[in-house]
Amino acid sequence: MATLELKIVTPEGPVYEGTVNSVVLPGSEGQFGVLPEHVRFLAPLKIGEAVISSSDGGDLYAAISGGFTNIDDDKVTVLADACELSHDIDVARAKRASELAEKHIKEFEAEQEEVHSLQEQQAALERALNRIQISGRV
Ligand code: ATP
């Protein structure tokens, strides 16, 4: 069976490297799947879930916090702003981050603060909620 070589790297280092049957990624226009013999492709990623079907069976799930992917000749490289495999997610930390972001969003809305800061807090909330959701994956 044809396979893909998947690498997920972040500014802090590699998160995953292995041979996979397929991978589903959170494209900025929606989730998309990559199978062997995919056309060459460069795509932006948003905050969301990656589903990695490894060649030795079993799926792995990862929280992606945006970035890019490059697909070329059965090599899939994901350059993520941040990425955690589901079992590495610290749920208590993500809950604290979501509560803090929600608090800041309420304050910004009340005080009509800069839209830019509000957007930063909305992105922080989205990252935290994504991590909480994916931490429940097995
Ligand atoms: P926090 O406010 O908790 O730092 P954040 O969304 O601002 O959350 P990021 O800037 O996206 O954090 O990530 C910074 C680093 O911390 C990255 O290496 C990321 O993988 C890691 N990280 C962030 N949140 C978690 C979490 N809940 N569990 C495990 N690793 C996390």
pLDDT the model gives residue 106: 86
Instruction: Report whether pLDDT(93) > 90.
Output: yes
93 lines ligand 1 (CB under 6 A): yes
Sign of CA dihedral 119, 123, 124, 128: positive
Query: Which residue is listed with tokens 């005080």?
Result: 111
pLDDT digits (tens, 9 = 90+) for 42-57: 999 999 999 999 988 8
- Report residue 89's pLDDT band, with 50, 70 and 90 as the boundaries: very high
Q: Can you tell me which atom of ligand 1 is nearest the CA of 89? A: 28
90 lines ligand 1 (CB under 6 A): yes
- Report residue 119's pLDDT band, with 50, 70 and 90 as the boundaries: confident
98 lines ligand 1 (CB under 6 A): no
CA of 2 to the centre of ligand 1 (A): 34
pLDDT the model gives residue 116: 62
- Report residue 118's pLDDT band, with 50, 70 and 90 as the boundaries: confident
CA of 106 to the centre of ligand 1 (A): 22
127 lines ligand 1 (CB under 6 A): yes
- This prediction has a pTM of 0.89
For the domain spanning 4-88, the CATH number is 2.60.15.10
Query: Residues 19-38: what's their mean pLDDT?
Result: 96
